[in-house]
Amino acid sequence: MMHSVPKTMTAVLLTGHGGLEKLVYSRDVPVPAPAAGEVLIRVTACGMNNTDVWVREGAYGTEDDPSAVSTWRRHGNTLTFPRIQGTDTVGHIVAVGEGVDRARIGERVMVDFSIYNRDDDSLADIDYMGHGRDGGYAEYMALPAENAHVVATDLTDIELATFCCAYLTGERMLERARLAAGETVLVTGASGGVGSAIIQLARARGAVPIAVAGPGKEAAMLDIGAQAVVTRGQGDLAEAVEAASGGRPIDVVADLVGGPLFNDLLKILRPEGRYTTAGAIAGPVVQLDLRTMYLKQLELHGSSQGSRADFRRLVRYIEEKKIRPLVGCVYPLSEFHRAQTDFMAKNFVGKLVVVPD
């Protein structure tokens, strides 16, 4: 069925680094035209992520100054203002650019938000939609046709929008750490989007996840697949993890928190264990006793986003129902400030999803 495409749309524009005042809700943003090899989608849902907040705040620092106002890419900034953020986009194709089969019009698609910039599997020059080009906090979005994927599922658009960034990030973390069936992984920040994804993704691999989460979230963690839950901030972490694991060695730590927990997490790892991180919500600058790392033969992995192969595995997991959506709350685009405020408060489990008005 053909869809009439208007000339303007509503969108949330990031106008610079700073507070919520830098997010401007506008009703007269030009609808993008799909270029050659691209499609135009009518956005139906878009999930929110920590990266949205950190990029707005310019909170990524630099290698020389961790407190500097800086954006996501360490080398070669691609962020210009105004920018429409939003990575976890689901929508329906309403127009195609030159070279794209018109039969694709009408498809419901989940967006692989990565801008790979290379033909191989290296992520050294990775970028993303919502940073290097406009994303999904809008009524319409143009993107390369190869990044628009049909997913064979009966999930709703809102449910499908909970997966992409969080689960892709989590899958890449576990892939880099080589988490295998039968191994035990400790997941910090487990009630957030990426953390709750890792719990399910670990189960999909046949591994045993143990969650670290805030008070009151224990039952939710068990419900999505955690073998046991350690309540954050209550007693000695190493002792609590040993009790929760029943004495099983911790093969992998998947850390999204950082901060003061970092060195304790390395102590908890078994010899030749693997540490992987894609976030630092409790603080990016940490103390590291190098002796712990080298005497225990530890591996430390930094991870961000995922490869094309990681995305394909994610789609397969969705289609095979090995992972399920966790919708924490839903907000209309016009209430974006309130949505991001509630997102930063972290008073829910799973993903916050924004939908057009």
> pLDDT tens digits, the chain, 357 residues: what are they?
456 899 999 999 999 999 999 999 999 999 999 999 999 999 999 999 999 999 999 999 998 898 899 988 888 899 999 999 999 999 999 999 999 999 999 999 999 999 999 998 889 899 999 999 999 999 999 999 999 999 999 999 999 999 999 999 999 999 999 999 999 999 999 988 899 999 999 999 999 999 999 899 999 999 999 999 999 878 789 999 999 999 899 999 999 998 998 999 999 999 999 999 998 888 889 999 999 999 999 999 999 899 999 999 999 999 999 999 989 899 999 999 999 999 999 888 888 999 999
Question: What is the distance between the alpha carbons of residues 139 and 29, in angstroms, rounded to a whole number?
Answer: 10
Q: Residue 323: is it exposed, middle or buried by C-beta count within 10 angstroms (0-12/13-18/19+)?
A: buried
Contact 126, 117 (CB under 8 A): yes
Write out the E strands in the chain. 8-14, 23-30, 38-47, 88-96, 108-111, 114-115, 127-128, 140-144, 148-149, 184-187, 208-213, 228-231, 250-255, 269-277, 299-302, 327-332, 351-355
3-class state of residue 208 by DSSP: strand
- Identity at 298, one-letter amino acid code: L
For residue 1, what pLDDT is reported?
Answer: 47
For residue 186, what pLDDT is reported?
Answer: 98
Q: What is the pTM of this model?
A: 0.91
For residue 130, what pLDDT is reported?
Answer: 97
Question: What is the distance between the alpha carbons of residues 284 and 260, in angstroms, rounded to a whole number?
Answer: 10
Question: What is the distance between the alpha carbons of residues 203 and 216, in angstroms, rounded to a whole number?
Answer: 23
Count of CB atoms situated within 10 Å of the CB of 152:
9
For residue 2, what pLDDT is reported?
Answer: 54
For residue 356, what pLDDT is reported?
Answer: 96
For residue 150, what pLDDT is reported?
Answer: 98
Q: Residue 1: is it exposed, middle or buried by C-beta count within 10 angstroms (0-12/13-18/19+)?
A: exposed
Kindly state the tokens that stand for 132. Answer: 């290097």
- Identity at 27, one-letter amino acid code: R
Going by the DSSP 8-state scheme, the letter that residue 32 receives in this structure is P
Half-sphere exposure of 128 (CA within 13 A, CB side): 28
Contact 135, 164 (CB under 8 A): no
Kindly state the tokens that stand for 219. Answer: 């039952």
- The Cα-based distances of 329 to 88, 201, 355 in angstroms read 15, 22, 11
Centroid of chain to Cα 169: 5
- Identity at 61, one-letter amino acid code: G
Count of CB atoms situated within 10 Å of the CB of 272:
11
